[in-house]
Amino acid sequence: MSKSVLMKGNEVLAEAAIRAGCTHYFGYPITPQNEIPAYMSKEMPKRGGCFLQAESEIAAINMVFGASGAGARVMTSSSSPGLSLKQEGISYLAGAELPCVVVNMMRGGPGLGGIAGSQADYFQATRGGGNGDYRTIVLAPGNVQEIADLTVQAFDLADKYRMVVMILGDGYLGQMSEPVILPEPDVKPVPKPWAVSGAKGREPNKVMSLRLTPDDYLEKHNIHLQELYKKVEGEVTQSEAYMTDDADYLIVSYGTSSRIARKAVKMLRNEGVKVGLFRPVTLWPFPMKELHDLSKKVKKVLTVEMSAGQMLEDVNIAVNGVTEVDFLGKLGGALPEANEIVKIVKSYG
Amino acid sequence: MSEELIYTRPESLRERKTHYCPGCGHGIVHKLLAEVMDELGIREETIIIAPVGCSVLIYDYINADGIEAAHGRAPAVATGVKRVHPDKIVISYQGDGDLLAIGTGETIHAANRGENISVIFVNNAIYGMTGGQMAPTTMSDQITKTTPYGRNVQDVGYPIRACEMLNTLAAPVYIERTSIHDVKNIRKTKKAIKKALQNQMDGKGYSFVEVLSTCPTNWGVAPVKAAKWVETAMVPYYPLGVFREEKETV
Ligand SMILES: Cc1ncc(C[n+]2csc(CCOP(=O)(O)OP(=O)(O)O)c2C)c(N)n1
Ligand code: SF4
Ligand SMILES: [Mg+2]
């Protein structure tokens, strides 16, 4: 059993990616995720991989497109404004069904915004900022250990479903140091007979997203994609329920804000308030059924996130009116405070 | 009487009805590329990057692995492919809008890194696929769908010379401009493409071949006249020849 080490979230992500068999990394610097390219630039050459600093996020995601189309396990990372630029490439990756891992260590927006952590890219991540009817799997780690674990999972899921998998963290999580047990290097290579590698002794492969003829080619492809997404919805939903068994109230929160919500739950429990935390780990697919079932048992649901109410929409869909949904949102990189959450929940009683 | 086979379709070219207009330069360049691939024996080693432009379906013609880039991103996609398969032959085939407008950044930086790829740049002075709008290479006073009064260089700038621009960079090993307006120049174009691919096979680095080409449809002229226009209007502004050639080291 490997022992635990103290490491920064961003560096853990990079190390876990390499251990998961990521051989190619392309990225463009942006705070607060710069430790990822720095780590990759140091480690990749030593470990037989490729690190390349691209000329822009657009170039980086299109290098990812090329490397993924060529069959590699590949990753890019950025933060919010950079993710905006990557949307074109993500749509093309989805159209061509190419697997890859895209990391967003979110910061506040809109525009250049700030460099403090934020959760204001939930819509962009789960609804997609690129064109077309596509989905990406979105994983939201809540601590540094989970960054390691979900990074490994991200590569496996990407290859399994031939999808873009996004790791949605934020500046606080990426910059935070915590003890972590790093995953054992355990690469599960997936055969990729569709990749371009030179058509030696076989028919040429075509990796593309253009589907013009026959007339229903694009329609059929979209139907296929939707079937794939349905399957993913059934197979990869993840969430955590904390102290929810006897709860009267339920806080729903993910990532950095869920850490504060968890603290608030502990404080409230000490005062005898029966409250629990529901933490979605996959933001797409969102754990609709799990949250719906829990919400039926509580008097009120409080959504806590660092945005003006983005995950709130999914919470409302999941709860579907069976109980009341309240909201605490922090804007522009501000963090919720445990005391604040405690006060709000106490006001329900 | 015995028959002698003196000409056949290259193996690297698929048997397929063309979608290109009569007199379009893309078909000629495709054929030259396929012939060169046969001659170098690299059909099964080649990965062609299709751009967005009239040649987006190049993988339907070139009988090799193909991957289609977003508009302008072919050099970045080529970079990704090449970094995974350094021993394969990676060709970025692009039009002028793709290479010099939306993809200028990708073009310059792939060249500047000296990626060991071959770029074939088909300059037809117009956006063919979208119906004939101004390209960065559209000639001064040339009439297009978006320059109905002729390209006014005071307003939208002068046509960009790609070879000259890339020739300011240190890394490229080979930069040449050719044309397909007559047989002699078509032959030279073939030689240039062959050199660009040979360089890549030899691991030398980034090669760039600009081919002055025709778009009779959007220029609104017949094929023969289009070829003439390349010679009389384009060649004087876009001089043909080798701009960069790596010195042979003994
Ligand atoms: C992002 C994006 N913007 C615009 C287009 C529309 N578009 C398709 S091809 C093209 C220009 C192609 O011109 P060129 O590169 O010169 O190729 P040609 O057709 O002349 O060979 C444009 C603007 C697109 N497909 N994608
Ligand atoms: S529109 Fe122009 S570039 Fe496109 S196929 Fe026709 S002639 Fe060729
Ligand atoms: Mg053109």
Report which DSSP code applies to B230.
I
Backbone angles phi, psi at A25, to 5 degrees: -135, 130
What pLDDT digit, counting tens, does each position of A239-293 carry? 999 999 999 999 999 999 999 999 999 999 999 999 999 999 999 999 999 999 9
Is B250 a residue whose pLDDT tops 60?
A: no
Q: State the pLDDT at residue A1.
A: 56
Q: How many CA atoms lie within 13 A of B116 on its CB side?
A: 16
Predicted structure pTM score? 0.97
Q: State the pLDDT at residue B3.
A: 87
CATH numbers and ranges of domains, chain B: 25-245 (3.40.50.970)
Which three-class secondary structure string do you get for chain A? CCCCEEEEHHHHHHHHHHHCCCCEEEECCCCCCCHHHHHHHHHCHHHCCEEEECCCHHHHHHHHHHHHHCCCCEEEEECHHHHHHHHHHHHHHHHCCCCEEEEEEEECCCCCCCCCECCCCHHHHHHCCCCCCCCCEEECCCCHHHHHHHHHHHHHHHHHHCCEEEEEEEHHHHHCEEEECCCCCCCCCCCCCCCCCCCCCCCCCEECCCCCCCCCHHHHHHHHHHHHHHHHHHHCCCEEEECCCCCCEEEECCHHHHHHHHHHHHHHHHCCCCEEEEEECEEECCCHHHHHHHHCCCCEEEEEECCCCCHHHHHHHHHCCCCEEEEEECCCCCCCCHHHHHHHHHHCC
Record: fold of A5-193+222-235? Rossmann fold (3.40.50)
What pLDDT digit, counting tens, does each position of A79-94 carry? 999 999 999 999 999 9
pLDDT band at A221 (very low <50, low <70, confident <90, very high): very high
Q: State the pLDDT at residue B2.
A: 78
Q: How high does pLDDT run on average in chain B? A: 97
Do B73 and A26 lie within an 8 Å CB cutoff?
A: no
Q: State the pLDDT at residue A189.
A: 82
Domains A5-193+222-235 and A240-347 share a fold: yes
CA pair distance B222, B233, nearest whole angstrom: 15
Please answer whether residues B103 and B72 qualify as being in contact, where contact means their C-beta atoms are separated by less than 8 angstroms.
yes
| Ligand 1 center to B146 CA (angstroms) | 14
Q: State the pLDDT at residue B166.
A: 98
B contact test, residue of A24, A90, A196 with most B CBs within 10 A: A196
Report which DSSP code applies to B231.
I
Backbone angles phi, psi at B142, to 5 degrees: -65, 135
ipTM of the complex: 0.97
Ligand 2 pocket: which residues have CB below 6 Å?
Answer: B 20-21, 24, 26, 54, 124, 128-129, 215-218
| Ligand 1 center to B202 CA (angstroms) | 32
Residues 6+ apart with CB under 8 A from A1: A181
Please answer whether residues A128 and A160 qualify as being in contact, where contact means their C-beta atoms are separated by less than 8 angstroms.
no
Q: State the pLDDT at residue A65.
A: 98
Top pLDDT among B194 and A189 is at B194
Q: State the pLDDT at residue A255.
A: 98
Which chain A residues touch B76 with a CB distance below 8 Å?
A: 54, 58-60, 62-63, 65-66
What pLDDT digit, counting tens, does each position of A136-162 carry? 999 999 999 999 999 999 999 999 999
User: Of the ligands numbered here, which is closest to the C-alpha atom of B95?
Assistant: 1
What would the two tokens of residue A317 be? Answer: 């869909």
Is A8 a residue whose pLDDT tops 70?
A: yes
What pLDDT digit, counting tens, does each position of A29-66 carry? 999 999 999 999 999 999 999 999 999 999 999 999 99
Q: State the pLDDT at residue B249.
A: 55
Is A349 a residue whose pLDDT tops 90?
A: no
Q: How far is A149 from chain B (nearest CA, A)?
A: 26
Report which DSSP code applies to B163.
H
Record: fold of A240-347? Rossmann fold (3.40.50)
